[in-house]
Amino acid sequence: MSLQTAQALAQASSLAVFATMAIWYVAPWLNRRGRAAALAPLLWVHVFRYVALQTVSAQHAGFPISDGGRDEIISGDVAGAILAALAIVALRWRARWSIPLVWLLVAETAFDTVTNVMGGIRERLFGAVSGVTWFILSFYVPVIIVTLGLLVWQLYTRRGEGVFNP
């Protein structure tokens, strides 16, 4: 089995497992919480996107990514981490702009995901990852995608609900 096939299988399997967990356990749990209390744990998952800084180490260890590709990944993920942290603070402060900030994170994450996939294709990086980078792509990225879906679901289905209802 090639590294590319193993990576694709790991990512698809993780995505399926995390989606199943989200449907069976996380979604019912979120529905029992107020809007802000439901959004916060989903946002916390995104706060750790600064793990993309590991790309610098991976590049030095032989990961064949260009400096531009590396910087694109890092800037998108660090921006997402900052937006997620700001959104959590805004929700805690009961700021009126907290929900638009969560929507901004959703848009940024969707754009970042598409950009990273296109960059990976352009630079022929699929199957070139190993070590920590492989782990991040196989486990953390699918969690990001699933929580992104949960964020959109919460934002859309509860759009008429006040942010701070119990």
122 in any annotated domain: yes
User: Which residue is listed with tokens 């449907």?
Assistant: 23
Expressed as residue numbers, the domain containing 108 is: 35-56+65-157
Reported as a single tens digit per residue, the pLDDT across 89-101 is: 999 999 999 999 9
Task: Give mean pLDDT, residues 28-38.
Answer: 96
29 in any annotated domain: no
Residue 166 has pLDDT above 50, yes or no: no
At 1, the pLDDT band (50, 70, 90 cuts) reads confident
9 in any annotated domain: no
Count of domains forming the chain:
1
Number of Cβ within 10 Å of residue 12's Cβ equals 12
3-state DSSP call for residue 166? coil
126 in any annotated domain: yes
Q: Which long-range contacts (CB under 8 A, 24 or more apart) does 157-165 make?
A: 158/35, 158/38, 161/35, 162/35, 163/35, 163/36, 163/91, 163/94, 163/98, 163/99, 164/34, 164/35, 164/36, 164/94, 165/34, 165/35
Reported as a single tens digit per residue, the pLDDT across 142-151 is: 999 999 999 9
16 in any annotated domain: no
Task: Return the higher-pLDDT residue of 158 and 166.
Answer: 158
Tell me the pTM. 0.94
Task: Give mean pLDDT, residues 116-140.
Answer: 93
12 in any annotated domain: no
Task: Say what the pLDDT of residue 165 is.
Answer: 55
User: What does pLDDT average to over the chain?
Assistant: 95
147 in any annotated domain: yes
Look up residue 125 and give its two tokens: 């990086």
At 163, the pLDDT band (50, 70, 90 cuts) reads low
3-state DSSP call for residue 47? helix
17 in any annotated domain: no
